[in-house]
Amino acid sequence: MAMSAKSDKKPRFKYGSQASKDALSGYLYVAPFFILFLTFGIFPIFYNLYISLFSWKLFGAEPEFIGLQNYIWLLTDDPTFIKSVVNTFSIWIISTIPQLFIALVLAYVLNQGFVKMKDMFRMAIFMPFITSILAVTIIFNSLFSRDFGLINFILGTEGLDWENNNRFLTHVAIATMVNWRWIGYNTIIYMAGLQTIGKDLYEAATIDGANKIQQFFYITIPQLRPIILFTIIMSSIGGMSLFIEPLVFLDIRGGSANQGLTMFLYLYETAFGTKYNVGYSAAISWVMFVIVVLFALLNWFVTTKVIKD
Amino acid sequence: MKKFSLILMSLMLLFSFALAACSTEGDTTEPSDEPSEETPGTEAPSDEVVELTFQNIPNTGLDVLVKQYESENPNVTINYQEVEFNDHHNGLVTALAAGSGIPDIAFVEIGFLETFKGDEGNFTNLYDLGAKDVTGDYLDWKIKQSENADGSFLFGLPTDIGPMAMAYRTDIFEAAGLPTEPDEVSALITNWDEFLEVGKTVAEKTGKPMTDSGGTIYDTMVGQLTEVYFDENNELLLESNAGVKEAYDRATAMVEAGITAKVGQWSPEWNAGINDGGFATLMAPAWMMNYMKSTAPDGSGNWNIAQMPVASGNWGGSFLTIPAASEHPEEAYAFIEWLLSVDNQYEIFKETGNFPSTPGIYDKPEMQDWTDEYFQGAPVGKIYAEAALKVVPVYFGPNHTTVNTAVKDAINNVENNDADAQAEWDAAIERVSRELR
């Protein structure tokens, strides 16, 4: 009975009928967004795919169709690209893991009853996120500077060149900038998640004799699983497209030995640095897209598995 | 009724998108129709007001003259825009690539001009507009920089130049027991081997490095060659040009001898070095004087200027070009020919100190008597005028910057990471072959 009632209600499209007018106005309402999205979202993605099949320089010879040659070069004969992938993951690991862990601990502490002036702490912790990345990087650039940097002064490592001396140190410096800016953001997300966990779970645990640390690992983390998953996916996507920090801290090539070159920066440098090679750059963007998707899927898979256990 | 007006509004939105799309199409097709009408159009300017868009960078001293030209030529209005150096050039790259938003007159620095030369179709050949009549007013090597390989196409008219000399710290030279008078210093360091030897003495006696970085010295040495990375058919000479390898070897030898301060140009350490004497010499083009005065005021009185080892060189300098998309190339050319004439460069030089590309000015008293207190009253006008006449013309080629970046990265790696010079050279060659494909 219910089935037939439903099929009777199905609108019939007749010219001039109320149903067709409703449908038309509906499409018109969403049209502005979709026109913009098609023009600036979908079209460039596929045009990019088309460009990637050409040897296409902005200046000089006419574009020449070379099929998959750009991809073959990129994947089999380009140590700079491999280096940029390694850099990206290295920076991601030393930024995301401490960042999410510190954010989780901060959120847990801030959510405790004994903390006074919660609003002030929340605001203070979130503040870095609303600063401009560029400004943050310029400030950190001078903090990490070789001869007059505050960080070398505090650590007693005068003369240590964070930009040039050691690839790992360069990554640490860049990760520090990322962490400083994103810990607050993740803390606020986790705090929102913590508020949804019922008090009764903690009360029951307290009665059973569990201490705060046990409660954190056996109640808080499992209950926060979807939120943690969200932050991991977000930071994967953000970390994979790291761009401004290495650009400003080093230069457009990510330093003279490409020690801080990330995938995104390499893409940009190829198209707009000195080479103006947009065909190759488009190929990089597609390979990068595949890497980001695979990595996000892997993270999702691992996180759901690990936290379930 | 309410619904009707909403539908109307969304329809209007749709139409506005369609209209926007149409109007940009109209803009791009128009210029290509224009050249065919050019001949009858020659008499049009007399009664019609022509608007020219002129995109420039700040502090060129040209803005004042723009107003003067407008008042003298009522049929021309100039839409004058100033954009910061990097933003201006990046914007120009995208505008030329996209084929829209291109000014009638564009300022182009020499480094970018080399890249743009890869596409003659983007620019108007100034030789077609009568530039042959005025090229004699400018330095030969500067005109050559602006021509294509066979000299048949002129991309732009020269604005200022960057002839080079060697600035040195008299306090450090004195502490090292070396002569401090410009003539004596010029005689002491006549080639790069002597530069290295003096550098070792300075480092030994004072503990100060001789110069800022290996990369700067390399750039200077390469700037003195007659042929660099490409021949005029754009064949890569990186491996076969002995001069380039020699410059690389000398630069890395200086790095390995420890006479470089390991500071990159424009870094805070570099500025501090100029200010407090962090290094004994600085390869300084004419425009560097203003930079030193503004960022390192404490260096005043400690610097002096001598001629560079071997010969002079040129660093920087710019051109005014007329992109092919301009609808009024003749009016634009008439304007820049006037703007960059000998008389006007003289005015600009007196106003700003930007070094003119017209040798006719070098004998003028303002140039000959130009001294500077920052450099202990050195006759900087004479020194740089002499340097400007010594520069040799050289062909760079559209991919010059890409190759140069790779080689300088190699030197920087030797300098900062103790990398092996020969291994870095081989890596740079391999890298260049990949980047040029």
Q: What is the tens place of the pLDDT at every residue in A53-83?
A: 999 888 877 889 998 999 999 999 899 999 9
Q: Which residues in chain B have their CB less than 8 angstroms from residue A165's CB? A: 416-417
Q: Do B3 and A29 touch (CB under 8 A)?
A: no
> Is A276 in Cβ contact with B115 (below 8 Å)?
yes
Q: In whole angstroms, how far apart are CA B131 and each of A57, B146, B338?
A: 30, 12, 11
The more confident residue out of B407 and B64 is B407
In this model, does residue A17 exceed pLDDT 90?
no
Nearest to B165, CA basis, from B64, B43, B289: B289
Q: Is the pLDDT of residue B120 over 90?
A: no
Residue A66's contacts (CB-CB under 8 Å, 6 or more residues apart) are A53, A54, A55, A279
pLDDT in the model for residue B26: 37
pLDDT of amino acid B105: 94
Measure B428 CA to nearest chain A CA, in Å: 11
Contact A227/A193 with Cβ under 8 angstroms?
yes
Closest CA to B336 of B39, B64, B69: B69
What is the model's pLDDT at position B41?
Answer: 41
A101 CA to chain B: closest CA distance, Å? Answer: 34
What six digits make up the tokens of A275? 């080479």
- Flag whether residue A241 sits within 8 Å of chain B, measured between CB atoms: no
Nearest beta carbon to residue A257 from set B93, B413, B435: B413
Instruction: Return the closest-CA partner of residue B51 out of B105, B9, B112.
Output: B105
Q: How confident is the prediction for chain A on average, in pLDDT? A: 87
Chain A closest CA to B22's CA: distance in Å?
14
Residue contact B268–A145, C-beta within 8 A: yes
In this structure, what token pair is assigned to residue B431? 């890298």
d(CA A25, CA B411): 65
A165 interfaces chain B, CB cutoff of 8 Å: yes
Q: What is the pLDDT of residues B208-242, one digit of tens each?
A: 999 999 999 999 999 888 889 998 888 899 888 99
Distance from CA of B10 to the nearest CA of A (A): 6
Is B82 exposed, middle or buried, given 0-12, 13-18 or 19+ CB atoms closer than 10 A?
A: middle
A89 touches chain B (CB under 8 A): no
The pLDDT confidence band at residue B435, using thresholds 50, 70 and 90, is: confident
Chain A residue nearest residue B118, CA to CA:
A60
Please report which confidence band the pLDDT of residue A5 belongs to, taking 50, 70 and 90 as the band edges: very low
Q: Mean pLDDT over all residues of chain B?
A: 86
Provide mean pLDDT across the span B290-317: 89
At A89-137, the pLDDT tens digits run 999 999 999 999 999 999 988 888 787 888 888 889 899 999 898 998 8
Alpha-carbon gap, residue A164 to B419, rounded angstroms: 12
Instruction: Report residue B316's pLDDT band, with 50, 70 and 90 as the boundaries.
Output: confident
Percent of chain A whose pLDDT exceeds 70: 94
Count other Cβ atoms within 10 Å, centred on residue B184: 13
**B397 contacts on A by Cβ (under 8 Å):** none
Instruction: Fill in the DSSP letter of residue B236.
Output: B
Which ranges in B287-379 belong to alpha helices (H)?
288-295, 329-339, 342-352, 365-368
Q: Chain B: nearest CA to A210, how far in angstroms? A: 53
Is ipTM > 0.90 here?
A: no
CA distance A272 to B236: 22
**What is the torsional sign of CA B6, B9, B13, B15?**
positive
Q: Which of B10, B122, B262 sits opposite A28 (nearest CB)?
A: B10
Q: How far is CA B325 from CA A95, A309, B7, B102, in A?
A: 48, 65, 40, 7
Is residue B37 predicted with pLDDT exceeding 50? no
Nearest CA in chain B to A58: B97
Q: Are B17 and A28 inside 8 Å of each other by CB?
A: no
Instruction: Tell me the per-residue pLDDT of B319-367, one tens digit each, with 9 for 90 and over.
Output: 999 999 999 999 999 999 999 999 999 888 888 878 999 998 898 888 8
Chains A, B: CB pairs < 8 Å: 83
Q: What's the pLDDT at B42? A: 44
pLDDT in tens, A223-257: 888 898 889 888 888 898 899 999 999 888 888 88
pLDDT score for B27? 40
Indicate whether A309 pLDDT > 90: no
Query: Is A268 near chain B, with CB under 8 Å?
Result: no
Handedness of CA B95, A39, A245, A177 (dihedral sign): positive
Q: Kindly state the percentage of chain B with pLDDT values over 70.
A: 89
Residue B21 has pLDDT above 70, yes or no: no
Helix (H, G, I), strand (E, B) or coil at A140: helix
What's the pLDDT score for residue B17? 52
Paired residues of B81 in beta bridges: B55
Percent of chain A with pLDDT over 90: 42
Which residues in chain B touch residue A31, judged by CB atoms under 8 angstroms apart?
10, 13-14
- Which residues in chain A have their CB less than 8 angstroms from residue B97's CB? 58-59, 276
Instruction: Tell me the C-alpha distance between B390 and B164, whole Å.
Output: 10
Mean per-residue pLDDT, B95-110 = 91
Among B396, B413, B436, the residue to mutate for chain A (most A Cβ within 10 A): B413
How many whole angstroms separate alpha carbon B370 and alpha carbon B355?
12
Q: Is the predicted pLDDT of residue B30 greater than 60, yes or no?
A: no
A79 to chain B, minimum CA–CA distance in Å? 9
- For residue B2, list chain A residues with Cβ-Cβ distance below 8 A: none
A8 or B348: which leads in pLDDT: B348
